């Protein structure tokens, strides 16, 4: 009889220990696989129940989706914030697509049920490089305001559905949290920083736009001048992206693409509005570990708002004539 009770007691202890281990595993804060900034659909699927995990679907008109696409089908438990309309970029001093203020971001992020303790996995559509840029810009924004545990789902929701993993419909309204921003100045370059760099050097300026913008053959309507910031090198964000797989290229290929950018020297990534440039920043800072890389979020729209700031351009009179004839930009 004593032996029986000992056996039962031992079994009960084992069951209790197993139950506690399971509870701790479920309650433990989520962490990205091997500390990576990109996580796979397999990793995300196995961590959906982590209590500190927030899955943030950011689809918008940029990728052909938006709120309707989210309501129709999204990763189970995901919350939604439209990258284009949700307040991630705002108009200030008549300049569009600027970084919101700390208080604006505190409300935006807190209302999504996110605070400093969460691990946020950003979910793009997974359809093109512009779409990845949306995820990279939100990733950068979250890091900039103090949400340090952030990842992007590699391949986006397209990879999730292609893997045959379940989706749900409807709209999830998360309970809001109080989020207090802690800005990280090491991640952002202001216009004054770029002006100082133009005067005395010290950092490599990386223009993430297509070559046609860099050369001044076309420009975004919000920019007041054609061309690029003098001294910049052109690394189009699309060169980092494999359009066949809708993922960034392998790390070795990414490193080769930036081999001419001095690793020991600071760098500043910019484009028109800080969208394309977010991909360049993500590759350099997060994937290749170049910690002295900052994002100039104001980019050419802000830079050209002041006519006294220098701009280099290869634009010709023939380009201007073609524009008048409706044959060019």
Q: How many whole angstroms separate alpha carbon 9 and alpha carbon 71?
A: 50
- For the ranges 32-46, 82-96, 178-192, which has the lowest average pLDDT? 32-46
Confidence of residue 63 (pLDDT cuts 50, 70, 90): very high
Q: Which two tokens stand for residue 103?
A: 């208080």
Q: How many whole angstroms separate alpha carbon 154 and alpha carbon 149?
A: 16
DSSP 162: H
The structural architecture, per CATH, of the domain 186-324 is 3-Layer(aba) Sandwich (3.40)
Confidence of residue 89 (pLDDT cuts 50, 70, 90): very high
CATH 3.40.250.10 domain range(s) in the chain: 30-182, 186-324
Determine the longest span between alpha carbons in the chain, in angstroms. Answer: 102
3 state DSSP class of 56: strand
Quote the pLDDT of residue 327. 85
Closest by Cα among 174, 171, 173 to 114: 174
Helices within 28-58 (DSSP H only) = 41-47
- For the ranges 102-111, 147-156, 273-282, 315-324, which has the lowest average pLDDT? 315-324
Q: Which two tokens stand for residue 5?
A: 């009770």
CA atoms within a 13 Å half-sphere pointing along the CA-CB vector of 232: 30
Judge whether residue 2 has pLDDT over 60. Answer: no
The Cα-based distances of 126 to 12, 74, 94, 134, 157 in angstroms read 48, 13, 32, 10, 6
Quote the pLDDT of residue 36. 86
Q: For 30-182, which CATH superfamily applies? A: Rhodanese-like domain (3.40.250.10)
Contact between 106 and 180 under an 8 Å Cβ cutoff? The reply is yes
Burial of residue 5 (number of CB atoms within 10 Å: 0-12, 13-18, 19+): exposed
Q: How many whole angstroms separate alpha carbon 152 and alpha carbon 251?
A: 15
Confidence of residue 35 (pLDDT cuts 50, 70, 90): low
Confidence of residue 171 (pLDDT cuts 50, 70, 90): very high
Closest by Cα among 138, 164, 130 to 62: 130
Q: How many whole angstroms separate alpha carbon 216 and alpha carbon 225?
A: 8
pLDDT tens digits along 67-84: 999 999 999 999 999 999
pLDDT tens digits along 148-160: 999 999 999 999 9
């Amino acid at each position: 009889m004593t032996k029986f009770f000992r056996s039962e007691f031992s079994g009960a202890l084992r069951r209790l220990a197993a139950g506690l281990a399971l509870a701790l595993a479920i309650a433990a804060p989520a962490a990205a696989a091997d500390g990576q900034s990109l996580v796979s659909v397999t990793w995300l699927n196995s961590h959906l129940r982590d209590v500190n995990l927030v899955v943030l679907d950011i689809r918008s008109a940029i990728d052909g989706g938006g709120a309707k696409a989210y309501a129709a089908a999204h990763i189970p438990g995901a919350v939604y914030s439209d990258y284009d309309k949700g307040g991630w970029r705002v108009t200030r001093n008549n300049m569009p697509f600027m970084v919101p203020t700390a208080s604006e971001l505190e409300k935006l992020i807190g209302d999504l049920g996110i605070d400093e303790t969460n691990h946020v996995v950003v979910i793009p559509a997974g359809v093109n490089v512009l779409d990845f840029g949306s995820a990279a810009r939100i990733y950068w924004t979250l890091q900039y305001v103090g949400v340090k545990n952030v990842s992007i789902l590699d391949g986006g929701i397209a990879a999730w559905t292609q893997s045959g993993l379940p989706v749900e419909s409807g709209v999830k309204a998360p309970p809001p949290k109080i989020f207090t921003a802690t800005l990280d100045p090491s991640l952002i370059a202001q216009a004054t920083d770029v002006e100082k760099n133009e005067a005395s050097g010290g950092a490599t300026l990386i223009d993430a736009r297509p070559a046609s913008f860099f050369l001044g053959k076309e420009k975004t309507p919000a920019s007041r001048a054609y061309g690029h910031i003098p001294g910049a090198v052109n690394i189009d964000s699309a060169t980092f992206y494999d359009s066949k797989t809708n993922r960034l290229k392998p790390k070795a290929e990414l490193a080769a693409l930036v081999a001419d950018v001095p690793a020991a020297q600071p760098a500043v990534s910019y484009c028109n509005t800080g969208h394309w440039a977010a991909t360049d920043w993500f590759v350099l800072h997060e994937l290749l570990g170049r910690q002295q890389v900052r994002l100039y979020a104001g980019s050419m729209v802000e830079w050209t708002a002041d006519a006294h700031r220098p701009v280099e351009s290869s634009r010709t009179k023939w380009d201007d004539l073609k524009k008048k004839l409706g044959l060019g930009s």
